Amino acid sequence: MPKTPLSILDLAPIVQGDTPAQALHNATDIARHADRWGYNRYWLAEHHNMTGIASAATAVVIGHIAAHTERIRVGAGGIMLPNHAPLVIAEQFGTLESLFPGRIDLGLGRAPGTDQNTARALRRNLGHSDDSFPQDVLELQGYFKPVQPGQAVQAVPGAGLDVPIWLLGSSLFSAELAAHLGLPYAFASHFAPHYLLRAVDLYRSRFQPSEALDKPYVMVAANAIAADTDEEAHYLFSSLRNRWANIARGVRGPLQPPSNDYEKHWSPDQIAYIDDALSCSAVGSADTVRKGLEYLIDRTGADELVLTAQIFDHAARRRSFEIVAQAWGLTPAAAA
């Protein structure tokens, strides 16, 4: 029986001492390897005013990644739709689909992907942007449909193109909307696992077939950090755990190097918070990570997993994705 497909969500981490340019170079390098290793998709996420994440201009980065890969689907996981006019996103992803036909995905989220001050700088007037998310999704879908007689506003490029739209979320809202619209759904359990099982159950139970999809399709996100030994993997994982400790204190910044000493300075409440936020994580040797991902599939029935790995050392991060691909039995592109 074929294995569940694996994909990558790259947050293009900027590590201490490096630049956004280096982070984007590293993302391109990993995408090229992921293309050969047999991963299904390579997604990037929209974040703003984040000194540790380099993918703010998400559509631009997607175009660059797609130009440096051959087979793998490339897309957004996701575009924060309230930050943009739907027409602009239709034109951007219509352009990407025109340049890289059959390889572009458009995942949509309804959060700002930033703090409130930055959200205001992005949108100028926040208004009721979250409340308009369902209408914005419908408007965006309309721009990808064939042009109708008398249609006053067209997406050029965009109209008549097949750009798969996904809804992303970490609560029940997008799960219900994705079910209602008959769209594929991805849950952000790599950092917000609380509603994972409820959201997946809600989506499947209320799914209505559509032109886009005839049955539910769920992708579940997880942190996956692999190394030659469990001990080494947990050492690498300490950088992400420290990032969440800093988030709990309201501190943001570049990804810090790994250390075995971080937890000595954390309170029991901080450790509990980090453990909870990162509970959907598979960390260890090849066998350990494989079993962790299999357990997540058993719990959720996921049709696909999308994996993220925030690791300080670029070579270790690339090696982590390679170990996972080999452990999972992905088919390298050259042998496909």
What pLDDT digit, counting tens, does each position of 184-194 carry?
A: 999 999 999 99
Q: What is the reported pTM?
A: 0.95
Across all residues in the chain, what is the average pLDDT?
A: 94
Q: What is the pLDDT of residue 252?
A: 87
Q: Are 178 and 167 in contact (CB under 8 A)?
A: yes
Helix axes 286-300, 314-328, angle to 10 degrees: 60
Strands 73-80 and 104-109: parallel
Q: Are 270 and 245 in contact (CB under 8 A)?
A: yes
For 147, residues 6+ apart whose C-beta sits below 8 A from its C-beta are: 154, 159, 160
Q: State pLDDT tens for residues 9-62.
A: 999 999 999 999 999 999 999 999 999 999 999 999 999 998 999 999 999 999
In Å, how far are 96, 308, 323, 326, 327 from 286, measured between CA atoms? Answer: 35, 16, 6, 8, 6
Q: Per residue in 200-209, pLDDT tens? A: 999 999 999 9
Position 1 in a domain: no
What pLDDT score does 251 carry? 87
CATH number at residue 276: 3.20.20.30
Q: Are 46 and 76 in contact (CB under 8 A)?
A: yes
Q: Does the structure show a pLDDT above 50 at 1?
A: no
Domain membership of residue 295 (yes or no) is yes
The number of folded domains in the chain is: 1
Which segment of 105-119, 152-166, 277-291 scores lowest on mean pLDDT?
105-119
In the chain, count H helices and then E strands. Answer: 11, 9
Distance between CA 116 and CA 130 in Å, rounded?
A: 13
Higher pLDDT, 121 or 64: 64
Residues of the domain holding 192: 6-335
Q: Is the bond preceding residue 78 a cis peptide, omega within 30 degrees?
A: yes
- The single residue listed with the structure tokens 């910044």 is 253
Q: Does the structure show a pLDDT above 90 at 108?
A: yes
* First-to-last C-alpha distance (Å) of the chain: 17
Q: How many residues does the chain have?
A: 336
Taking residues 159-169, report their average pLDDT. 97
Q: Report pLDDT for 213.
A: 98
